[in-house]
Structures are given as C-alpha cells and as structure tokens.
Amino acid sequence: MRRLTTRAPGSCGEWIQGIYRGRPCLVSCPIDLYARATISDEPQRIDLPPKAAAMVDYFLWRYGLSEKVMHHLNIEIASEIPRGKGMASSTADLAALAGALSVFFDLHLDASEIARLCIAVEPSDNIMFPRLNLFDFIDGGVIKTFRHNLQAAILVINFKGTVDTVGFKGQRRIYTARDRAAFAGIVATFQRGVDRRNLQTVGNATTKSALLNQKVLEKPYLPLLIDLSSRYGGEGVVIGHSGTVVGILHEPGRLARDDLMRELLKHVSAEEIDSAFERRIVPGGVQLLRNEF
C-alpha cells in the first residue's frame, strides 16, 4: 500500500498587505504551525471540508484525470492552525493537499502551479512558496521576489472572535491614492529590511502596514501592542490584515514575554484573548514528509 504525507505552514498573518501598482497583494509570514495532507491507495474513505473537496475536483479536471481514480484513494487533512484568525489555515490545507496530489500522480508541480490551484478555489496566501514574495492573492501572480527569507521569533496573540477571511473585502475598496502611495513606501522599506536582514527595518514596515490597515479592519489594541513591543524588546507587530491575530516580532531570546503579557493584561481582559504562544518564523513551501510504498 502506498501512503504519503505532505505539510504546508500556516502564518501569523502577513508581513505586509495592501494595494501595489493597482494590484491587491500580500507577503505571508509563515510560522511553524502546519496543515498535513495524507493520501493512501486503500478503499475510499474521504470526508473532506468543502474547499478541499473543491480542490480535488479542480485538480482532476485541470490535469485530465478520471474521477474513478478517487474510488481507490483515502485522503485525510489534519491541521494545528487556528481557524478564522487570519493565519492561512485554509490555504495551508489546500497547498498541502495540492502538493500531496502532485506527488501521488507524479506531476512535479512547482510552487507557482500549486498557488494557481489554490487560487482557483479561493483568494490565497502565499505560504506555498519557499522564498518570500509579494503575491497577488486574487490572480495568483508573483509581483516581486525578495532576496532572503527571514529568521526570527514571534509572539502570537490570538484575540477572541473570527473573521470570514475569504468573504472579507477591504483594501481595494477603501484605500485612497494616498494610502496606495504609503503602501508603496512600505514595500520599499520591507524590501530594504529583507535585503539587509535587518529585523528592525522589517518591523518598521510591518508596523506601518498594520496601522494602514486600521481603516480596513480595526484592531482596538493595536496601538497598545505597538507600544508594548517597543518597551519589551520587540521589533514591531505583524497582523492578520483580514483576521484577529497580532504577532510581536522579535529576535529569539530578546523579548520579555512574561512582562509584556502582564502589562497587556492590565489593559485587556483575559477573556478577550484566545491564546498567546511563541513560534518560529520559517520558510514557506510544501514539504513531503513521507512517501511509502
């Protein structure tokens, strides 16, 4: 019996997100939380979420495969990524599944092709790319690729509530010409920080992107979290621009996490926070974990 498993990372929102040269775009911030897809050639036992089922249907159509092949496959998806927070949970499911199908049917799909599969189902994050890029999350095009990935840690704070991140419509409708010019500057600052591997410059760009997004989806505690980041060793904030998650970017070992959380809880009720935890920022990409025959 053949059995294979792939995984794709979730994200702590987006490093930056906005409208660049007329195109809606983002740079996801991948972290070490994963969705896994497992395919085995045993009697069919498929109980997939609707979006994953749509991915399978589109995959079969796109690559000219008969639906009959699914009668002999078992597909499972498991995820450790919180849902509805702006953490790329849905894209990670789809990317892991597309990657698993690619391996199973020996198609050797690259990240751009996996992105196109995901975009066919819904607007998507760009966690399937091994390198950071500025990505049009509507048409799936890569606008620019950055020179390096980033190595850092992030304190992930999940506030109560969820957002329908696919149904959410924001920046294209609300951004003014001034906002678009400001975002072009944010992209330039972010690129400079990545080129120099300077986390402080990166954090400056991500914080500006978060503040610009306040008119789109307000986060009431964002000014407080920016202040706490600067006071307790952080380099800035990274948010889910269409979600509720906020991350405090920092060099490993440099953040006074306990002090920061104590101060935060002086201003925010514990009941308003779902969870807070440390994660590593990792490269994106779909990884093959096992392929057994």
For 187-202, the pLDDT digits (tens) are 999 999 999 999 999 9
Helix axes 89-104, 50-62, angle to 10 degrees: 40
For the segment 118-134, the average pLDDT, to the nearest whole number, is 98
Q: Is the pLDDT of residue 258 over 70?
A: yes
Computed over every residue of the chain, the mean pLDDT equals 94
Instruction: Report the alpha-carbon distance of residue 275 to residue 204 in Å, rounded.
Output: 25
How many Å apart are CA 190 and CA 155, to the nearest integer?
20
Sequence-distant (≥ 6) Cβ neighbours of residue 50 within 8 angstroms: none
Closest among 78, 91, 87 to 118, alpha carbons compared:
91
Q: Is the pLDDT of residue 280 over 90?
A: yes
How many domains does the structure of the chain reveal? Answer: 1
Out of 17-21, 120-124, 160-164, pick the least confident: 160-164
Q: How far apart are CA 78 and CA 38, in angstroms?
A: 8
Q: What is the mean pLDDT of residues 243-252?
A: 97
pLDDT at 52: 94
pLDDT at 67: 85
* Alpha carbon 208 to chain centroid, angstroms: 19
Domain ranges, residue 34: 3-292
Q: Mean pLDDT across the stretch 8-13?
A: 99
Q: Where are the beta strands (DSSP E) in the chain?
A: 3-20, 23-40, 74-79, 133-136, 142-145, 153-159, 236-239, 245-250, 273-280, 287-292
Above 60 in pLDDT, residue 171?
no
The average pLDDT across 170-181 equals: 82
Straight-line distance from the first to the last Cα atom of the chain, in angstroms, rounded to the nearest whole number: 6
* Other CB atoms within 10 Å distance of the CB of residue 216: 19
State residue 42's pLDDT score.
81
Give the CATH number of the domain where residue 7 resides: 3.30.230.120
Residue 166 has pLDDT above 60, yes or no: no
Instruction: Select from 112, 130, 106, 118 the least CA-distant residue to 54.
Output: 118
% of the chain surpassing 90 pLDDT: 88
Q: Is the pLDDT of residue 163 over 90?
A: no
Q: Is 173's pLDDT higher than 80?
A: no
Tell me what the mean pLDDT of segment 46-57 comes to: 89
pTM of the predicted protein model? 0.95
Instruction: State residue 164's pLDDT score.
Output: 62
Residue 167's pLDDT is: 47
Asked if 37 and 290 count as a contact pair (C-beta separation under 8 A), the reply is no
